[in-house]
Chains A and B, each alone.
Chain A
Amino acid sequence: MRFDRFDYLVWSVLAALTLAIGGVILAGDRVGARVAQALPAGGEIGAYGPLGLQFAQTMRAETVETRFEIDPPVPGAFSWEADQLWFTPAQPLQPGVTYTVRLQPGALARDGRESKQTWTGQYRVRAPWVVYMASVSGPREVWRVPATGGSPEQLTFTEGRVYDFAVAPDGEQIVYSVVNPQNGADLWLMGRAGENPRQLLNCGADLCTVPAWAPTAGRIAYSREPAGLTPGSPNGPPRVWTVDPLSGQTAPLYQDSQILGYGPVWSPDGRRLAFFDGSSSSIRMLDVTTSREMLVKTLMGTVGAWAPDGQRLVYNDMNLETGRPYVTLAVADFDAQTLTPLLGQEPNWADYSVPAWSPDGAWLALGLRAATSGPTKQIWLMRPDGSEARAVTDDALYTFGGYRWDPWGTALVLQRFEMNKPYATPEVLVWTAATNTLLPLVPDGSTPEWLP
């Protein structure tokens, strides 16, 4: 094998490349493991967060979590999705406050690389908005408005085919059902400002409605009523299904098609789901992690509200035992599998709506019709044991409903309807606890929800 000048050149180049590789390796890692970006991009978050860090490498969780600092300090829990770390605060973050997250150097990637610098990220907590359905007199579309008042913004443009909606726990997305040409209803997703609307689930002639977003955001439960056997015939009985908002994969909650369900409601910890099972006239409470169940008989057909501990459910029932039927309130304790009466035979109160539990569990808000106040329902606050009851609204001209606590338990969004006005439309308002004032938001809206 005879070498000529070309061969010597090639071997020189190979030697130079080998040296260069050695030099680059010897110079060492100048970048290290690192955070690629703060999540969500832009660093704006809702009251429930979560705050995310996207790493450039797959990290060793314990080395990151011990170097994670947040200022002002907030307790919370970590979770990982591939190379993303998510911090979910245990208590709602304060609106308008900027939280600073620091990751101290020394966190290790699985490939052995070490973070070399302190990473700092800023997360600003946005003020909440209110999402609602408008309007009764025109096309049914989803709108939003700042919770402190301002110009409403239309989010959907479906020619009035929106049926209902639900807001994601982090406030980044909204799922809504839209009636399709086959008279079924599909599920759609959009961003918090109405951007990027896309079909999540094509339900054909089935009715997919009443979506409920799990607090962990990874699942949406909804009611699905199968198409009738022949075109134009009524839909079949509803069952509860779930769908993954990322993949669109969907499946019934129960394999047993005899278990019906409507109006799913997640517990605040996302472990349990309650829905009304018409076949047994019961609220069916299910622990989705253990499949343990509790059935609560009720004649009302409504589901109730979970306590913040995810253990108790306050619900309505009707007592028919006496000659004069009356509505009652009771608490179902899932862990103890017990039912405890709460309200029902008070002489001055005649009717109760489904209560809403304040985020700290200290108060129940509920629509209540006093025996002496005529047909309207007013909003009342009371302790979970029924004590310290007081009226929030007191206007016999209006009936109030649709109340939801804000993430901090400082305000309620609600709707009211004027009773003695022909062609009246529901209005959306915000009641603020600190000032005990009602702020009208929109004159023609219903079913309001907070958009954190």
Chain B
Amino acid sequence: MPLSWTALAEQLGTFTTVFLGIFVEAAPFLMLGTLASGLVEVFFNQNDLSRLVPRNPLGAAVVGSVMGLVFPVCECGVVPLTRRLVRKGLPLSAGVAFLLAAPVFNPIVIASTLAAFGPGPVLYGRLGLSLLIAVSTGAVFAFQRHPERLLLAASLPGVSGGSHDLPVALPAPRAPLASRLGRVLTIAVDEFFEMGRYLVMGGLLAALMQTFLPQSVLLGVSAGPVVSVLVLVALAVLLSICSTVDAFIALAFAGTFTTGSLLAFLVFGPMVDIKSTLMFLGVFKRRTVAYLILLPLLMSLLAGIFINLNTTW
């Protein structure tokens, strides 16, 4: 069967190319995220975060959702950074809001969306919906008073204990800068390899899906006000594109797909895709990961379909 061997070889070539494309695109951002995580671990202490983040869960979620302006990371880098911040004592509601919003609500992605679509409903809709969904999901997570039921043990905040006479966080003697930077790099490298496993697995899975379920199958489906949203949400998950460049991919769909579906693609894609789902599993328990997928998914679908059927965007 020489024909099928040829076809298989072609598909293997496609699979390898797609996987390398995803990995090469995402790895630098994961590295940036782990570097940021190392910086947070070494240069921030728990008191700094306590001062910056409100105690009110909703307020914490709001602050978490805009923290991407300070930590401009995409969906690959945001996972290790969120884990580090939560371990440093960031409230879970803020952590979840940051996890979901930061891949969109950061200067790089805002600039790329502006460049692709200009100032208009897509840019404002993407920012507004990302914030709304992230804050809403974060607020839901604020109702869980037991983080250990949501997080894996390695992601839980450190526990202070012992004498009540001692402060919660003991001021450590300040190490030389070079030594602290060395520690940042050590943490970043360790975390890169730890989270990198999930990136590789997610990339493999996404490449597999793209190879055997080509985009044309999805794009060939009718682009009605409801179906178009479902199609582009599925495509966002399937393509697993970094949020820094996804606006330009969405621009290619702008002529044929509805505004609501473009927004769902641009909002849900950075929150959840195949590789980030795998990375979530390194931080959260499986049930939590399911919630982190379902809540933004339904909110994105609702927003996209509502926009298509009720607005003239």
Contacts and interface: CB of A to CB of B under 8 A. Distances in A.
Contacts of B311: 31
Nearest to B294: A14
Given A31-B311, A83-B255, A17 B299 contact: yes
Contact of A31 (B149, B223, B226, B312): B312
Nearest to A13: B140
Interface of B: 140-141, 143-144, 146, 149, 222-228, 255-256, 258, 287, 291, 294-295, 298-299, 301-302, 305-306, 308-312
Contacts, number: 70
B298 A112 contact: no
A112 B222 contact: yes
Most buried by A among B228, B255, B312: B312
A-side interface size class? 20 to 34
A298 B43 CA distance: 86
B225 A113 contact: yes
A110 B223 contact: yes
Contact of B302 (A1, A6, A20, A58): A20
B309 A58 contact: no
B284 to A, nearest CB: 13
Most buried by A among B140, B141, B228: B140
28 contacts: A4-B146, A6-B141, A6-B144, A6-B149, A7-B287, A10-B295, A13-B295, A14-B294, A14-B298, A17-B298, A17-B299, A17-B302, A21-B302, A24-B305, A25-B305, A27-B309, A30-B310, A31-B309, A34-B312, A57-B258, A58-B255, A82-B255, A110-B222, A110-B223, A111-B222, A111-B224, A111-B225, A112-B222
Nearest to A4: B149
A433 interface: no
Contacts of A29: 225, 309
Given A1-B287, A30-B310, A113-B224, A10 B140 contact: yes
A446 B166 CA distance: 94
A267 B224 CA distance: 43
Interface string A2-21: 00111101100110011011
Contacts of A57: 258
Given A4-B149, A10-B291, A30 B309 contact: yes
Contact of B143 (A9, A36, A113): A9
Contact of A5 (B143, B255, B305, B312): B143
A31 to B, nearest CB: 6
